[in-house]
Amino acid sequence: MSKLLIPFQNKYTLCLSTQVGCAMKCSFCFTGTQGLKRHLATEEIIGQYILAVRWLQEFRPNGHQLKNLVYMGQGEPLHNFDALKAANEIFLDQHGTSIGVQKITISTAGYLPGLIRWNEEMSGVNLALSLHSPFEEKRNKLIPINQRYPLADVLKCIDEIPLKRKQYIIYEYLLIKNFNESIEDAHATGELLREKMAIVNLIPFNPFPGSEFERPEQSQIEIFKSILESYKLPVLIRGTKGDDILAACGQLNTKL
Ligand code: SF4
């Protein structure tokens, strides 16, 4: 459990899974290597929360709180939409866990059938898109479902999501050495996002056993960030807490 609770001072973010394995087969992702075993039921998603709360009560009893939920564990959340939706309704309901809508973030690889349902059925929670490249060809290599649901269609759908004041779409960008970390990649990403309510999360790739990709140099990460900032985009470089235990994003594998 401690692997899935990400601490910041005495506040914690819980990383939730929605499936065992994943059907999306992203080429950078450890989870994707095992394929989809099954969807999780709503109670199994809620169960992760209950276990986390109990773990905190037992092992961090002095004022440590679970503050945020992020669906960034195993699985493509929007591929298990009905269970995800029901779990969120329980998380949000005052008779459930009464978590604020702004404290929940769902991350997707760009599963368009789920995004099409989002506006009607997903009531104001935050959305994060795994962007990883502004170019369709490169994205095809990283996220195979991009061939079926191209980035242009995904972005068009996301652009139609109504946002509250100060609400942003999070665009996650996995930085991979000699693949998508160049100055041209950075400028094309800046151009793509410059008019949007966007926050960019840069995630330096965490190598896993057998992966074909490498982590970029720190200097290149900083250059990429400063180019995006020149387009007036807020940019964060995600820390790699958990990479030593293979629990950073895209590294969960039930074979471990
Ligand atoms: S990155 Fe996410 S969507 Fe892609 S294979 Fe891994 S778990 Fe699935």
Nearest CA to ligand 1 atom 7: 75
Question: If you count them, how many residues does the chain have?
Answer: 256
Nearest CA to ligand 1 atom 5: 32
Q: How far apart are CA 176 and CA 29, in angstroms?
A: 12
Q: Tell me the pLDDT band of 250, cut-offs 50, 70 and 90.
A: low
Question: Best mutation site among 26, 33, 149 for ligand 1, i.e. most ligand atoms within 8 A of its Cβ?
Answer: 26
Encode pLDDT of 135-145 as tens digits: 999 999 999 99
Index of the ligand 1 atom closest to the CA of residue 130: 1
Nearest CA to ligand 1 atom 3: 76
Averaged pLDDT score across all residues of the chain: 90
Evaluate whether 204 touches 175 at the Cβ level (below 8 Å).
Answer: yes
Question: Best mutation site among 24, 79, 115 for ligand 1, i.e. most ligand atoms within 8 A of its Cβ?
Answer: 24
Taking 70 as the threshold, does the pLDDT of residue 249 lie above it?
no
Index of the ligand 1 atom closest to the CA of residue 143: 4
Percent of the chain with pLDDT strictly greater than 90: 75
Integer angstrom CA distances of residue 73 from 25, 40, 54, 188, 228: 14, 12, 19, 28, 27
The alpha carbon of 104 and the centre of ligand 1 are apart by a number of angstroms equal to 19
Place of tokens 């056993």: 209
The alpha carbon of 58 and the centre of ligand 1 are apart by a number of angstroms equal to 31
Question: Best mutation site among 31, 108, 251 for ligand 1, i.e. most ligand atoms within 8 A of its Cβ?
Answer: 31
DSSP helix/strand/coil, 196: coil
Q: What token pair was written down for 1? A: 């459990």
List, chain by chain if needed, residues with CB within 6 Å of any ligand 1 atom: 22, 24-26, 29, 31-32, 74-76, 109, 250
Q: Tell me the pLDDT band of 248, cut-offs 50, 70 and 90.
A: very low
DSSP helix/strand/coil, 15: strand
Nearest CA to ligand 1 atom 4: 26
Q: How far apart are CA 194 and CA 128, in angstroms?
A: 16
Residue type at position 144:
P
Taking 70 as the threshold, does the pLDDT of residue 1 lie above it?
no
The alpha carbon of 22 and the centre of ligand 1 are apart by a number of angstroms equal to 6
Evaluate whether 105 touches 126 at the Cβ level (below 8 Å).
Answer: yes
Encode pLDDT of 118-127 as tens digits: 989 997 899 9
Encode pLDDT of 90-114 as tens digits: 999 999 999 999 999 999 999 999 9
Encode pLDDT of 191-211 as tens digits: 999 999 999 999 999 887 788
Predicted TM-score of the model (pTM): 0.92
Encode pLDDT of 29-50 as tens digits: 888 888 999 999 999 999 999 9
Residue-level pLDDT at 64: 78
Residue-level pLDDT at 3: 58
The single-letter DSSP state of residue 163 is -
Index of the ligand 1 atom closest to the CA of residue 73: 7
